[in-house]
Amino acid sequence: MAARSLGIRVETDTVFWAVVEGEAQAPVLVDGGKIPAPISEDEAGRLIAQRRAVLDLISEHQPQIVFVRFPESMYASRGEAPRKRCRVEGVLMEAASRSIPVRTGPLSTIGKGLGIDAKAAKALRDENADLRGLDWSKRDEYTREAILAAAAALG
């Protein structure tokens, strides 16, 4: 079986994810999507639901590694939203780390995993073409970041 990774990009109410296999230089997108937080739950209930959903993804897709994309350090001082995002990221990291390795980092770390700098990784995310042959023109910015994270984990 080819190397397989799960990339995760969190927003306060949604977890964006992508499963990629192969090599960082020629990633193949296996699957990807969004996990919205349940609206009817309090924060603890949302965290439990998102944790369970990510564990289900791991069980279904059997990645060998997870990469959680962190925000840039300057983002952390912007109110409650970054703190909510950090809590979701922490819960998902804990859940995944029980069975497989977890890598983390901002776009600069993802770029290093792809052999490029942060500026190039940001430009790559913003392009509507492809990621090293992988067509992502119909994917939103956050799913693209999850794909980038998953591809970087293969490197």
Tokens, residue 76: 């952390």
Q: What is the pLDDT of residue 152?
A: 93
Q: What rounded mean pLDDT belongs to the chain?
A: 88
Q: Is 116 exposed, middle or buried (0-12, 13-18, 19+ CB in 10 A)?
A: middle
Residue 78 has pLDDT above 60, yes or no: yes
Q: Tell me the pLDDT tens digit for each residue of 7-35.
A: 999 998 999 999 999 988 888 899 999 99
Confidence of residue 62 (pLDDT cuts 50, 70, 90): very high
Residue 103 has pLDDT above 80, yes or no: yes
Query: What does the alpha-carbon distance between residue 64 and residue 126 come to, in Å, rounded to a whole number?
Result: 27
What is the bridge-based pairing of β-strands 65-69 and 130-131?
Answer: unpaired
Q: What is the pLDDT of residue 75?
A: 57
Would you state the CATH architecture of domain 4-154? Answer: 2-Layer Sandwich (3.30)
Confidence of residue 143 (pLDDT cuts 50, 70, 90): very high
Average confidence (pLDDT) over 146-155: 92
Question: Which has the higher per-residue pLDDT, 75 or 100?
Answer: 100
Q: Which residues pair with 67 in a beta bridge?
A: 7, 103
